[in-house]
Chains A and B, each alone.
Chain A
């Protein structure tokens, strides 16, 4: 039921002619849709269980693009208007970063021509990512996780969902947790309220600069745990070190295709060197695959590192 609600929550941003088609999708498909992709002169596409599915004009889906409903540039522009609720000025900063926060914790990525000042023109496509909270998804591995946690996985593998549940569990088990969210991925905070259950003892920062957010949390919220998504810059590493030295554990994530790619990601190597992370969780690319949990020593002993 909640899964259907998550899908229906994002329909306000879908142009009318597509809304009718998407509303006609079977309930089972609606509940499993992860993304809705609208691209100029290309088929309306869904991501279901990590795989693309094309939507036909009668609301059915197919793996083949023939006969699929074709979106046009008016659809993408209308979609953008609906996403920003006719208020581009209120979403300028988000647009400059290529996304728009939506109701219910969903997020839309925008693709097109970006000018030097970050404004977009000629939108070519929009990807609406449907955020779902899977309460309890971290319970099976929670007891195996010690110290700082790094969640690694491919895009769409569920890193953010896992972090969200870890935050909830840590918070409900007596830890003070601060969530530092740049795009609202973890908290989906809207007007100061998160639609997700992040636990009883969680404070959330919605801040563009993660490093600054971590510093602010450390100085003012005295957290036991700081959680943020997608570590990616040296300034964030510095903030993580500060957090580690200050006694706060971190929970973070990074994109990675497979374990072997740790070598290729300088930021991950540096993060592991800091020893702010004790446990690394590898999420499988496909849903239902095996989740691997490794201590940092194991990784360092592995030939891959």
Chain B
């Protein structure tokens, strides 16, 4: 009976560790995908600003198909907490703070400059995901197994 419980506990820990690894990996994937959506949205936003006479809030809603990325109030647009890595979130909010403060040309140039920056970050995140995805899962599983063995 004790052996059975030990086996169950071992499996539980091993799978929990693996689960945490999978979660970390999928979180990184989600943040990478969000960054790609953000980059694509920026391209649409620049186009919307160029051709439209509307104000920033409706344009953001239209440009970003995934505008669930944002907290939009009547006074400000901010990236939702957890949508990106912390440093990317700060950069994105810094960009959003500056949005709408210049004329059309200035806005398009600003979006283009930040767009390049965010696309670089997307590429880094993509690379990071390729490298870390398996590592997270493997390390999670190994930590689970080690803990399981230690308890046994």
CB nearest to A90 among chain B residues: B55
Beta-carbon contact of A88 and B53 below 8 Å: no
Beta-carbon contact of B99 and A90 below 8 Å: no
Query: Looking at the complex, which of B101-109, B117-125, B134-142 is the stretch in contact with chain A?
Result: B101-109
Chain B neighbourhood of A86, CB < 8 A: 55-57, 75-76, 99-101
User: What 1/0 mask marks residues of chain B from 23 to 55 whose CB sits below 8 Å from any chain A CB?
Assistant: 000000000000000000000000001001111
How far, in whole Å, are A147 and B52 apart by their CA atoms in the complex? 41
- The distance from the CB of B77 to the nearest CB of chain A, in whole angstroms, is 8
B interface residue count range (under 10 / 10 to 19 / 20 to 34 / 35 or more): 10 to 19
CB nearest to B105 among chain A residues: A89
* CB of A60 within 8 Å of the partner chain: no
How far, in whole Å, are A85 and B103 apart by their CA atoms in the complex? 13
How far, in whole Å, are A90 and B56 apart by their CA atoms in the complex? 8
* CB of A258 within 8 Å of the partner chain: no
Interface residues of chain A: helix, strand, loop or mixed (majority): helix
Instruction: List A residues 75-121 near B (Cβ within 8 Å).
Output: 81-82, 84-90, 92, 119
Beta-carbon contact of A88 and B54 below 8 Å: no
A interface residue count range (under 10 / 10 to 19 / 20 to 34 / 35 or more): 10 to 19
Number of A-B contacts (CB under 8 A): 43
How far, in whole Å, are A305 and B30 apart by their CA atoms in the complex? 78
Chain A neighbourhood of B57, CB < 8 A: 85-87
- The distance from the CB of A101 to the nearest CB of chain B, in whole angstroms, is 12
How far, in whole Å, are A90 and B54 apart by their CA atoms in the complex? 6
A-B contact pairs, 20 of them (CB 8 A): A12-B74, A82-B75, A85-B56, A85-B57, A86-B76, A86-B99, A86-B100, A87-B54, A87-B59, A88-B100, A88-B101, A89-B49, A89-B100, A89-B102, A89-B104, A90-B52, A90-B53, A90-B54, A92-B103, A92-B104
